Amino acid sequence: MFRNQYDTDVTTWSPAGRLFQVEYAMEAVKQGSAAIGLRSKTHVVLACVNKANSELSSHQKKIFKVDDHIGVAIAGLTADGRVLSRYMRSECINHSFTYESPLPVGRLVVQLADKAQVCTQRSWKRPFGVGLLVGGLDESGAHLYYNCPSGNYFEYQAFAIGSRSQAAKTYLERRFENFTDSSREDLIRDALIATRETLQGEKLRSSICTISVLGVGEPFHILDQETVQQLIDTFELVAEEEGPNAEPDADAGEGVAPEQGDVPDQSAAADQGAAPMDL
């Protein structure tokens, strides 16, 4: 992937004003397994796709608990994600010990972004090759942030990162206006459907996805596989019942909105050339 003489050092600018090492780190995020986040007024749901390196190995953990009110989902280099999640956990513990109150989500995200930015300005360091979706709940409500290897951070209503995430983004963009007032179950349902969009035809099973929930009166926790499989079966049954009833309407005119299952076909071209990395 060697491009030119300007990508051998993270502190070297190209004549076009680009830092290629930072861009390579962002490319590592795009090739990691997909991670998805959604939030409403009271809840945050994080989901990720579990990909094993081979049939003989288990998948690596992609969702980490930071505190009772904060959790993260990662895409990219898992080792870097573990280091950053441990740093976030330490910051939460220190703040809780000093001030006897939970660390605000926005402040932790800024500290994390500052830590990532330092690695883009030191010649003896490299950027973190991982993107983090940080979901949290504090006095101002539920939050969902995306931390980029470049040191930038953004707050979202819903977002997806990783391999073939464009299909999930397309679904989320069509539905995000309803997320603010969505219930816990509706958020989980949308997270599962968005996760399914990234699989490109592969059947969604509890063994290849992880779902975590955080809400008012509900500390951050990861749902077990049995619960996730029950939710998948329930939503698939509902979809099968709605499918036959929707077919006559679909034939009535061309202006009818496409079904949710059509989303991967619309965005497959965008991610066709991106081979997922089992990072």
What one-character DSSP code corresponds to residue 257?
P
Burial of 168 per CB tally in 10 Å (0-12, 13-18, 19+): buried
Q: Where are the domains of the chain?
A: 21-238
Other CB atoms within 10 Å distance of the CB of residue 213: 21
| DSSP for 212-224, written as a single string | EEEETTEEEEEPP
Write the pLDDT tens digit of every residue in 81-90: 999 999 999 9
How far apart are alpha carbons 100 and 81 in whole angstroms?
Answer: 27
CA dihedral 259, 263, 265, 268 (to 10 degrees): 180
Q: What is residue 52's predicted lDDT score, i.e. its pLDDT? A: 80
Q: What is residue 269's predicted lDDT score, i.e. its pLDDT? A: 43
How far apart are alpha carbons 212 and 224 in whole angstroms?
Answer: 9
Are 9 and 175 contacting, i.e. CB atoms less than 8 angstroms apart?
no
Backbone angles phi, psi at 179, to 5 degrees: -70, -30
Q: What is residue 238's predicted lDDT score, i.e. its pLDDT? A: 66
Is residue 28 classed as helix, strand or coil in its secondary structure?
Answer: helix
How far apart are alpha carbons 271 and 259 in whole angstroms?
Answer: 20
Q: What is residue 259's predicted lDDT score, i.e. its pLDDT? A: 45
Q: Which fold has domain 21-238?
A: Glutamine Phosphoribosylpyrophosphate, subunit 1, domain 1 (3.60.20)
Q: What is residue 240's predicted lDDT score, i.e. its pLDDT? A: 58
Please give the chain's pLDDT, 279 residues, in tens.
455 788 888 999 999 999 999 999 999 999 999 999 999 999 999 999 998 877 888 888 999 999 999 999 999 999 999 999 999 999 999 999 999 999 999 999 999 999 999 999 999 999 999 999 999 999 999 999 999 999 999 999 999 999 999 999 999 999 999 999 999 999 999 999 999 999 987 889 999 999 999 999 999 999 999 999 999 999 875 665 555 444 444 444 444 444 444 444 444 444 444 444 445
Is residue 64 classed as helix, strand or coil in its secondary structure?
Answer: strand
Is residue 143 classed as helix, strand or coil in its secondary structure?
Answer: strand
Residue 134 pairs in a beta bridge with 72, 145
Predicted structure pTM score: 0.83
